[in-house]
Amino acid sequence: MSRNEFFKALHRVVLITLAMMAGSYVLLAALMLFVGLNDVFLHFTLATVFTMILAPAGAFPLILMSDRLRVMKNDLEGLLRLDGLTELPNRRAFFELAEKTFPRGNRVTLMMVDIDHFKLVNDTYGHDTGDRVLRAVGQSIQRIVAEAIGGGVKFTARIGGEEFAVLVEGMTPAAADRLADDLVQRIHAAPVQGDDQMIPVTVSIGVAHGHAGDTPGLVLRAADGACYLAKRRGRNQWCDVDGQNARQGDATAIRRDGQVLPARTAA
């Protein structure tokens, strides 16, 4: 038990003891009024002494146990929203935040980030190395997103397999596109250390912007469709779906400022 825990518990024990003493006096006074008691001083003394002994003895361990159970509950709830491998927030945490962010009415952009040829990484280098790649890429995405200039909420989560989702609030479409471009280039430029060699890693990213009436699931599906097109175009690139298609869930027309984005050469 830490010193802070002790004094927090002690404070509540004192309050409980005083409350119990006051209650004892009130009860004793009522008994004296309606029943009558001999040796009033003795009864007041016993009411005080017993309360001061029994209340702390009973309350202190109960309060400590309650505090520790509350901490354990908070820890468990945190684990339910955490991906154990990458230590990033998980799919549940992502959608909980998105459901709170969308109704605020600010501009919200969602990105789907998928590691290119991840199955080949596992097959070639083994699953331990694949896990190392997942952790490294996840940490890189989280860092790059957090460092992005502008906007409000910036959130990264692993939502399954080799897929990561990004939520940024308050960014213009142009700023969000620059962030997607930054993610592609910086991850490409930072191979992951394997057992005896550096492993090149690239990602494909789909970008979709939320609008009034959109839901997180709908916008993320649009981002997923844009990510799929980025992969079809050769991977190691990003695509941005416009707002109209985001609402329809149609990722066949991938645009930025009305123009189809040029495909990059895959690494």
162 is catalytic: yes
Higher pLDDT, 247 or 120: 120
Q: pLDDT tens, 25-52?
A: 666 666 566 555 556 555 566 556 556 5
User: With bands split at pLDDT 50, 70 and 90, how would you rate the model's confidence at 167?
Assistant: very high
Question: What pLDDT is attached to residue 151?
Answer: 75
At 175, is the pLDDT very low, low, confident or very high (cuts 50, 70, 90)? very high
Percent of the chain with pLDDT over 90: 52
Please compute the mean of the pLDDT values over residues 14-20 and round it to a whole number.
Answer: 67
| pLDDT greater than 70 at residue 62 | no
Report the 3 state secondary structure along the chain: CCHHHHHHHHHHHHHHHHHHHHHHHHHHHHHHHHCCCCCHHHHHHHHHHHHHHHHHHHHHHHHHHHHHHHHHHHHHHHHHCECCCCCCECHHHHHHHHHHHHHHCCCEEEEEEEECCHHHHHHHHCHHHHHHHHHHHHHHHHHHHHHCCCCCCEEEEEEECCEEEEEEECCCHHHHHHHHHHHHHHHHCCCEECCCCEECCCEEEEEEECCCCCCHHHHHHHHHHHHHHHHHCCCCCEEEECHHHHHHCCCCCEEECCEECCCCCCC
Higher pLDDT, 173 or 249: 173
Averaged pLDDT score across all residues of the chain: 78
* 91-260: CATH topology: Alpha-Beta Plaits (3.30.70)
Domain boundaries, the chain: 3-80, 91-260
Q: The whole model's pTM is what?
A: 0.67
pLDDT of residue 152: 86
| Per-residue pLDDT tens digits for 46-57 | 556 556 555 655
Q: Pick the catalytic residue: 5, 99, 162, 169?
A: 162
